[in-house]
Structure 1
Amino acid sequence: MAPPAAASDDVPAPRVVLFDFDGVLLHGDAFYLFIRSRYARSWLRKLLVLPCLPWLLLQLPFSRRHAARTLVHAALFGTGEQRYQAQARAFATELVQHSRLFNRDALRQLRRHQQAGERVIVVTGCEQALVGGILEQLGLGDVELLASRLRATATGMRTGFHNIGANKLKALAGHGVRAWQVAYSDSLMDVPMLKPAAEPVLVNGTPKLCKKMDAALGRVVGRAEWR
């Protein structure tokens, strides 16, 4: 007679829940607000852009991303890594003081997932130091974070890994995450992240965007109206 099977001690892995940041937890784009503040506070940085204007005008009709990158590089010209980190943290503190910029319903939903014992990861195109500082100021410093990264050069901080679109899948794979159950986003750019989710959720989508997202995913996406 075979001995009785031992009871399994295996504990099921917690559900994985992904949140985009800009447009979901925050109304707007945090890094854009940071760069805009750099120009608003310095006439010198505005002057640095003047020689770039012909290039920007040529690039804008073809690639807004390249034009935006030029503006970022000018805004961070001469800024080393430690100085940038300090400035990003200071701006994060300043931003959180304006609580109306944050989506309270989304933050409550994130905390509900945490309280349920689920694994919450913020996966965002926002820059790592800035969004990390914001989450810390919001009392969410324990949330896992996958974000864009700048790189230090002799002329200042420049764009590095941009965590958008399919790059979010690379970041998740590099973090050891290959499956997730829920994903929240407000953008078609996140189709690669939403498609594998059992429960993809579009946040504050217009009827037109909802139709496009349904078509891109090949199914009806969940809707969340959060303020």
Structure 2
Amino acid sequence: MLRSASDTETKTVVFDFDHTLYDGDSGTHLFAWLIKRNWWRQALALLVAPVCGPMIAFLPTRRYGISAYVWIGTIGLHSRGSLDALVDRYVATHAEAIRPRLLPVALDVLHGHREAGDRVVIATGAPPELARAILAFVAHEAVPVIGTVVGPKFGGVGAKRHCHAEEKMRMLREHGYGDIDIAYSDSSADLPLLKAAKAPVVVNPKHGAVGMFRRALSPGTPILNWGCAGRGGTPAEASPGQQ
């Protein structure tokens, strides 16, 4: 279906990355690889698992549990640049494993917005270089990415500013993306983003979160599944704005 005249105006469109464009948690996959590089990192990860593992299961303590594993994976790195170099190496050497995790329907929607001339940006809780490298190297899409700011921390690299929940909205506004037309996300943590968008679209939500999204967002908000197995939403071939 062709866009109407009002639809031809440039839109600002924000995509989450994990479970939205990518089937899974890209940061977890990266940091698991970083930890597996050395036997002593693996041993240290096992040592902290009884404490840090349960922390990851609960939203209020999740960032602290994840931060411990990020630190273990990055001990010896002293800058964002050194982590970015490892991220690029990880993506280049794991492209064949990463490619099937990129959801074709999601990439079609992303590409459709870019072809329409919309301002498209990725906002993710992962390090921005990870999403940027995956999209550029594997999917051949060059898209601006706003993500968690990292830097030196206790002999490794850690989060300085977590692109998450309300902080994600603050970071988007700081980068000039405050007036959002369409937002795509799976996460309850992205409710501030979805509520800020004129046309929110929930994609690949957890089954247990579907009711919450229906209550929290405007009636008629699309709740779609773009091919993320084990997730909720109505199977769809394209978002409403791209059909």
TM class by shorter chain equals 0.7 to 0.9
Q: For the Cα contact (< 8 Å) 1:73–1:159, is it kept in 2?
A: no
Instruction: Return the offset for 1:57.
Output: 6.9
How many Å apart are 1:47 and its aligned residue?
Answer: 2.6
Determine if the alignment matches structure 1 residue 135 to structure 2 residue 135: yes
Moved more, 38-47 or 111-120: 38-47
Question: Cα gap change, 1:201/1:76 in structure 2, threshold over 3 Å: closer, same or farther?
Answer: same
**Secondary structure of 1:18's partner?**
strand
Assess if the C-alpha contact under 8 Å between 2:78 and 2:151 holds in 1: no
Matched residues in 2 for 1:101 and 1:57: separation? 24
Matching of residue 44 in structure 1 with residue 40 in structure 2? yes
- For residues 57 and 19 of structure 2, the distance between their equivalents in structure 1, rounded to whole angstroms, comes to 25
* Aligned-partner Cα distance in 2 for 1:100–1:40: 22
Q: Secondary structure at the match of 2:205?
A: coil
> SS where residue 195 of structure 1 aligns?
helix
Specify whether residues 166 and 57 from structure 1 end up closer, same or farther in structure 2 by C-alpha distance, changes over 3 A only: closer
Q: Give the aligned residue type for 1:48.
A: L
Report deviation, 1:159. 1.6
C-alpha separation in 2, matches of 1:210 and 1:57? 26
* Larger CA Rg, structure 1 vs 2: 1
- Aligned equivalent of 1:77, options 75, 78, 88: 75
Runs (5+) with no aligned partner, structure 1: 1-11
In the TM superposition, residue 17 of structure 1 has moved relative to its aligned partner by 0.7
The answer to whether the 8 A contact 2:186-2:206 is kept is no
CA deviation map 1:132-162 (0-9, x unaligned): 2112212112x12111121124612112111
Residue matched to 1:217? 217
CA distance in 1, matches of 2:56, 2:156: 23
Runs of 4+ in 1 over 4 A off after TM superposition: 57-62
Q: Compared with structure 1, are the counterparts of its residues 50 and 109 closer, same or farther at alpha carbon in structure 2 (3 Å cutoff)?
A: closer
Q: Is the 8 A contact 1:92 1:131 kept in 2?
A: no
Q: How many residues align?
A: 215
Q: Does 1:100 align with 2:100?
A: yes
Deviation at residue 54 of structure 1 after TM alignment: 6.3
1:139 maps to amino acid: H
CA drift at 1:50:
5.4
Cα 1:56/1:20, change in 2 over 3 Å? closer
Change (3 A) 1:14 1:218: closer
Partner of 1:120: 120
Is this contact kept in 2: 1:210–1:221, CA < 8 A?
no
Please give the root-mean-square deviation of Cα atoms over the aligned residues, in Å.
Answer: 2.3
- In the superposition, the TM-score normalised over structure 2's length comes to 0.80
**Aligned counterparts of 2:185 and 2:92: Cα–Cα separation in 1:** 24
CA deviation profile, 1:35-90 (whole Å, cap 9, x unmatched): 11122232110233355456537856872331221111111111232432211001
Q: Label 1:77 to 1:119 Cα distance change in 2 as closer, same or farther (>3 A).
A: same
TM-score by length of 1: 0.85
Secondary structure of 1:179's match? coil
Moved more, 32-41 or 102-111: 32-41
Matched residue SS, 1:224: strand
Aligned-pair CA distance for 1:196? 1.7
Give the Cα separation in 2 of the matches to 1:207 and 1:225: 11
